Amino acid sequence: MSGTNPWLQRQRKSDLVELAEFVGLKGYEGQRKVDLEATLDEFLSENAAHFSTEPKLVPYYVSRAKATGSPTKRELAPREEALKIIKRRVTRAASEVLPADSAQEEASSSQSQSPSPSPSPSRSPSPPSVALETRTPARNLSLAGRLPLPATPAEVAQVVDRSASAVRTRVTSIYQESGITEGAHAVQETLSTVGSIIFTITLFELYSLRPEVLPGRYAFTIPSMPALGTGPMPIYVPDMFLVLSSSFWSPVLTWIATALIIPSVFGYFYNLNSASHAPRRGRPSRPDYDVDPLTFSIVKGLVSFVVLGQKVTVAGYPSVHSIDRINSAIYGGWRGIITGAAVSALVSIYDAVLRK
């Protein structure tokens, strides 16, 4: 539109939208740039009394006064004063950044601040584009003044040390509150006995015997997972139906008799530990162990050697087939059982020495 204000025509549409938001214009959304120029021109001309002193709109009214060709000294005085204020602020900010050019900018500032006669065609106010360009550095300088300066290496090191100390303190408190230390001490106290060691050895023998008496039976297959890089995985579970057959009970009862029942009976009656707890002054003293661990270990080793190693039977019991299955299932056969008995015997002797 040829009748639109020249200063508005030189602005980008984003600047026009920002200007419309600044003056509170309504209903401009979706308009083209030329339509928005006309709408702003009409709105600003109707509200000249309210916006003529705004520094952001001074270039518009100066351009409008030049376009109409009938400006008066009284109308342009406040606008020229606003332009002088803007120029003084920009000159002061630029002189702080570029001290080498301070003399030249002070000269230009003094020229811009000198009183001028009534406006004439040969001497007119600065073009609106110059005003916009001079406002932009001042805005950038004000924003740069608000930005924090980069931290020094010493400050960065202090921040890192404080953060690491806070993380260590937090991790330590979480570890203490979790009760891991107390749980570990409780487990240590429980396992640091002769009975716990004998129980561990017996549990290992039973674990080795289980695949022989309760072999695995196919249940299902876990499908492959390409994301984890795993292939199909078949799952087997113990065939519990074998518990109802003699093929399960014959080797199991033979192992229970040679590894638990016979050694426990001899360890209960031949309890060497009870000799150190004889009754004193008519009051009985209870021994540390109801079943002497040293006697238990010695008898277990002897019985395993005779029954499992030499295959000695009484009236055909236990069967040689059951003995062979036990020797093939347990790690090391009867020699492995004797080795476990020797370990528990040494631990029993060491425990008795520590108790003295």
Write the pLDDT tens digit of every residue in 183-220: 888 899 889 899 999 999 999 999 999 999 999 999 99
pLDDT recorded at residue 151 = 65
Average pLDDT value for residue range 213-233: 90
pLDDT at residue 21 greater than cutoff 60: yes
| Domain-embedded: residue 221 | no
User: Over 80: is that where the pLDDT of 260 sits?
Assistant: yes
If you average pLDDT over every residue of the chain, what do you get? Answer: 78
- Whether residue 235 is contained in a domain is answered as no
pLDDT surpassing 90 at residue 139 = no
Report the half-sphere exposure of 213 (CA within 13 A, side-chain side).
26
37 part of a folded domain: no
**Per-residue pLDDT, 70:** 46
Q: Is residue 348 part of a domain?
A: yes
Tell me, yes or no, whether 115 and 208 share the same domain: no
pLDDT above 50 (res 120): no
CA distance 340 to 327: 14
**Binning pLDDT at 50, 70 and 90, where does residue 9 land?**
confident
Per-residue pLDDT, 197: 94
- Domain region containing 304: 192-213+245-355
Query: Does residue 134 or residue 229 have the better pLDDT?
Result: 229
More confident of the two residues 36 and 132: 36
Q: Which residue has the higher pLDDT, 91 or 28?
A: 28
Q: Phi and psi for 220 in degrees, rounded to 5?
A: -165, 180
Q: Are residues 209 and 307 in the same domain?
A: yes
